[in-house]
Structure 1
């Protein structure tokens, strides 16, 4: 359905007509002196036609109409759609420390780093969380709020894909990430708060102790699901040939299990991409909280198109009236010494 946000601005449309009918003040000296008849004849031949005079006026009126209608803010309201929110606020804490660049994961049989695999799986998880508000925290040496809670899962997903290793520092501040999540969900209902914390290491930075943060999160009824990512075995090329190492030796599983246990969540171990998919599929089965349906109508604004059209018509006005004539510009350039 088409409608105008501020229809009263259309009262300005007749303004040019009113200016046209205003009385003009006649000049006292209306005589014109010509040195000879030949001068008058030459100027008579160069006099513009009525069509050339009217064209700039038409463009000017069109520019005015587009401007006034654009200011009135025309919008198109689409068909109403029903969104049934589950009522949950899910905060995702994503580890961007330096160890996330270890390539012990695989996508399409190609080795990739841990963050790339996490982005791929997390993207599908976010798309399925319709009706939930999703937020994003990134942490490394420090923890930062990347995106507040929003139903706009498309934007949240895009922000996840834009994250890069080292954005928040090279170390791992698990306690600070939990503390920031508690702060952002302080005034939320107790039964609707969930934090998904994914890391591949131990707490090596930050000002908040993870165990104390978990205790406080439990008192605030914040449920934390922890995910430890990283393979147990990885073959690397050493000086004496291939060697098998444990790239997840720094992962503090005991801490992550303790955080999940204290808050009523669950600890998951992701050794490969398939484990990650299974883990997020399990988390995706969180029982939703019933809520009243929300009706939304998409709105498309045409203000920018009308504003652009107004500028185009105004430029055509100047061109057809000779104010921006290309021939005049060329002649002026020729006259320059």
Structure 2
């Protein structure tokens, strides 16, 4: 709720304040003696003065104040209250990140050698929170969650619109360290992400209810589209759900999948040269997943390419936020008018009963 200071609809009415000012000047200039002078007035003046005599000016001042209050009332003081209404057409996004042990392979970023997982975490945080240096504006207003997978797919963070918690959970993401938990269950991860996005509207309704309970400012949110950002460096070798079957499920739910293959295989250093061995990223399957769902596929072999890919996704999935202000004007002249009337009545009573002048 926004409250602006009082304003006056007719500020020219303040010119009327000259009337009570001139009235007081005339009163003080003419003196406050009796209406008709006596021959012996100068002798009376030298005698003791009672409180009535000392306060003979009070009715005149009350009359001037009443005129001033009426002038302010005529100026029409107003209180203007405004209510900001925000309407957001956001994107519901599930970040799906491979955390298999192969994500420990080295990758250079800004001149430093990190692991693939560390690079992915940094770029993903920039995608969510924004980073001018990376050309990423952040996903303010979007509903974003995260799923990680190795042998099994797990929900790291449910769909949320406040992204600070999500950013912290991304930072805590670790690769699989136990061999029995290692692997690459792409199909199960995509299927879980699609299932969570399918019911995204229910989570939106719950979050809007909580917002209205905590805040008087209406904030309307609707989902314009749903997307999965899948990132993996390997091939599907775990789980019972085929990646293409999961892609068809996502397509049935109206969800696009943006698939990113990162590196692939393990780098072996040999005398005089290095060689990548082991399973590389399954580009064919990832490309098919993207085609089935109406998304796109990219291959990222370095950190800079990965940033560019996320920036491209940022441009493909845009969020519209509209804000409007509804104002209400409340007239505040009544207290001033009532004060003017009350002062006139008080002045009349005092002049008639207490400070009655001798003719």
Q: Same fold (TM over 0.5)?
A: yes
What is the SS of the residue equivalent to 1:88?
strand
Query: 1:165 aligned to 2:197?
Result: no
Q: Would you say the 8 A contact 1:182–1:222 is kept in 2? A: yes
What is the SS of the residue equivalent to 2:123?
helix
What is the SS of the residue equivalent to 2:121?
helix
Deviation at 1:139, TM superposition (A): 0.5
Deviation at 1:219, TM superposition (A): 1.2
Query: 1:276 aligned to 2:276?
Result: no
2:155 equivalent among 145, 152, 155? 145
Deviation at 1:87, TM superposition (A): 2.0
Q: Note the residue ranges of structure 1 that are not aligned, 5 or more in a row.
A: 2-79, 296-337
Distance 1:263 1:223, change over 3 A: same
Aligned twin of 2:269: 237
Q: Would you say the 8 A contact 1:200–1:248 is kept in 2? A: no
Higher strand share: 2
The TM-score normalised by the length of structure 2 is: 0.55
Aligned twin of 1:260: 290
Aligned twin of 2:193: 181
Deviation at 1:110, TM superposition (A): 2.0
Deviations 1:187-239 (CA, angstroms, capped at 9, x unpaired)? 347852110000000001011111111111111111000000016995x433x
Q: Would you say the 8 A contact 1:229–1:269 is kept in 2? A: yes
Q: Note the residue ranges of structure 2 that are not aligned, 5 or more in a row.
A: 2-82, 130-137, 202-222, 326-359
Deviation at 1:185, TM superposition (A): 1.6
2:248 equivalent among 207, 215, 223? 215
Distance 1:260 1:149, change over 3 A: same
Following the alignment from structure 1 to structure 2, what is the Cα–Cα distance between the partners of residues 223 and 149? 16
Distance 1:106 1:231, change over 3 A: farther
Task: Give the CA RMSD over aligned residues.
Answer: 2.8
Distance 1:258 1:291, change over 3 A: same
The TM-score normalised by the length of structure 1 is: 0.58
Deviations 1:252-301 (CA, angstroms, capped at 9, x unpaired)? 00000000000000001100000001000000113435466599xxxxxx
Q: Would you say the 8 A contact 2:109–2:302 is kept in 1? A: no
Query: 1:154 aligned to 2:164?
Result: yes
Query: 1:123 aligned to 2:153?
Result: no
Distance 1:185 1:231, change over 3 A: closer
Question: Structure 2 matches for 1:35-54, cutoff 5 A?
Answer: none
